[in-house]
Structure formats: C-alpha cells, structure tokens
Amino acid sequence: MNDALPLRFDPSGLIALNAIIALMVLGASLDLRVADLRRVAARPAGVLAGLSAQAVLTPAATCLLSWVFRVDPALSLGMMLVAACPSGALSNVLTWRARGNVALSVGLTTVSSLAAIVLTPLNFALYGWLNPRTRPLLQAVALPVGGILAQVALVLALPVLAGMLIGSRAPRVATRAERPLRGLSFLVLIAFIGGAFWENRALFVARFGDFFWLVVLQNALALAIGRLVSRVARLDEADTRAVTIEVGIHNSGLGLAILMTFFPAAGSMMLITAFWGVWHLVSGLALSSWWSRRPPPPRVIATAAGPDAGGIAAAGTA
C-alpha cells in the first residue's frame, strides 16, 4: 500500500510510540482491581451498550459512511482503522471531568483493550473488505493479522494485566505512581503527535481539506452512536456520559503504531489517524467541559420494599 505522500517519520520513533501507549494503559490500570470489574459486571447493561456501540456499530457506520460518500479508498481505510481501535485511557479522565460513571469508563476501557486483541484486526479486515471501494486496496497488500494481533496484545493487554498486578501486590506504589505516570505519558504522547505534525506541516496544510471534515464527521457519528445506544439501553445519565465518551475517544496512537509497523507507506491513512489524535482531544474536552457544568441527576435505586412502599434510595453517580 503506497500513497506516494512524502511523510517523514523517524523509524526509531515507533519504539517510543509503543512505549508511550503501553505506559498510558499501565497508568490507567494501576488503580483497577478485580472487585471493580465485578461491580461493573454486576450491572452489565453499560458494558454491553458500550462494546456494541464501539466494536460493532461504529465500525459498521464508518464503513457505510465512507461507501455512501465515495471517500477516497486510502482515506476510508484510515477511518476504518481508527474505528477498529479500542477506547484510549484519556476517556477515563474525560469521563471524570464530565461527571460520568468513572468505574464504568475504566471497566469499558479495560474490556475493550483486551477484546481489541481480536476485534481490531478482525474489524479492520472485515469492513475494509465489505466496502467495494476499499476492497481492491486491501487485497493488494498482505494484511498481517497475526502481527497486528501480537502488537495489540503487547501494547494493550499486557500493560492492563501488569497494572492490575502491580496495583494488587503493591498498592502504595501504584497509588503514588498512577497519576504522575498517566499524566506524563499523556503529555509525551501529545508531544509525539505534535512533533509528527510539525515535521509534516506542509503536507497537512496541503491535504487539510481532504481529511478534516472526515475526522470531524466520524467522531461526531461515534459520539452520537454512544449516546443513542445508551438511551436505547435505558442507562442513567452518568452511565450514558461514560459510554458516549468511551465510544467517541479512540486509541489513535495504537492506529499510528500499527501503520508505522506494517504500512509505513500508507500516507493518507496516517493523515487520518494522526489528526484523530488531535481532534478527539478537542471534541472530548469540549463535551466534558460542557457536561462538567451540568451535574447528572442522582441514580435512583429501588429497595426490596419496592417503590410503592416508598423504598427508593438515591445513589451517587460515580
């Protein structure tokens, strides 16, 4: 796959990018316990709504969108790769800022990261093949499903398990390291993406009109799908905010790492994926800031006495 775009990326930066992603996931997992996952599993509606919106509906809608609007095949594949990536650790911070259910957000990030070992290469291959405009381009390359699977496991699954292990065996260390590690890795990731933009600024400016509205539209579509599925599942407002942000925030760093490893000449795909890493910060911060000024109503839980006996209790939202 060769777009003949003069993108400049230092091959040695691939190791750094994978390390940054792994550190972000590790930091987000340090305060995660098995008991937390059990509590989330006790109310599975939120997890099921989030996973169905993120791993099924968003990739399918992206495929349909790129097909209907006859998007350039290389740009379409970039959109599909982003759609196939799981949510990023940033979603947990944004959910906290939005006054959403942070426990559900962390649980969804963890489950989607583990599921991505299979779902990321599967969805990318499936929807790239289903779109007749991208199928020839996808067939022109040997899609390294096993290699992508191994990379996702290395930078997502292993850090999640390592973070949970450290948190359970050395809770004091985990408590002290969690916030600095998450913050530092996030800043380094922003610096990495910013550096990539600066090195290729002329190309980004020249092609800005080709990918800007595609990323904005796809991100808005993902957020809308998350919100709609949450409402259909009858989640309360705090859970809805968590699911919406999880579906709208994708681990675009993982997408860049996959491209730099297996498709280094896929310039258009890199344009889409790199800009996603910037835009979802803008949309996510804007949405979470708006919600932060609008507290969700308290969760209402029916007690054993039943609502007719006045047995209604209000619980916290996070």
Q: What is the pLDDT, as a whole number, of residue 224?
A: 97
Full set of structural domains in the chain with CATH: 13-315 (1.20.1530.20)
In this predicted model, which residue has the larger pLDDT, 223 or 31?
223
Q: What is the pLDDT, as a whole number, of residue 5?
A: 56
> Span 114-118, mean pLDDT?
87
When pLDDT is cut at 50, 70 and 90, the band that residue 79 belongs to is very high
Is residue 315 predicted with pLDDT exceeding 70? no
In this predicted model, which residue has the larger pLDDT, 192 or 124?
124
Structure token digits, residue 45: 């509606």
Is residue 226 predicted with pLDDT exceeding 90? yes
Count the neighbouring beta carbons within 10 Å of the beta carbon of residue 51.
Answer: 21
> Span 243-250, mean pLDDT?
94
When pLDDT is cut at 50, 70 and 90, the band that residue 312 belongs to is very low
What rounded mean pLDDT belongs to the chain?
A: 81
pLDDT, one tens digit per residue, over 18-72 is 787 788 778 777 877 777 777 777 778 889 999 999 999 999 999 999 999 999 9
pLDDT, one tens digit per residue, over 162-214 is 888 888 888 888 888 877 776 777 777 777 777 777 777 777 777 778 889 99
What is the pTM assigned to this prediction? 0.79
When pLDDT is cut at 50, 70 and 90, the band that residue 310 belongs to is very low
When pLDDT is cut at 50, 70 and 90, the band that residue 8 belongs to is low
Q: What are phi and psi of 314, to 5 degrees?
A: -95, 130
Whether 254 contacts 274, CB under 8 Å: no
Q: Residue 299: beta bridge partners? A: 315
When pLDDT is cut at 50, 70 and 90, the band that residue 113 belongs to is confident
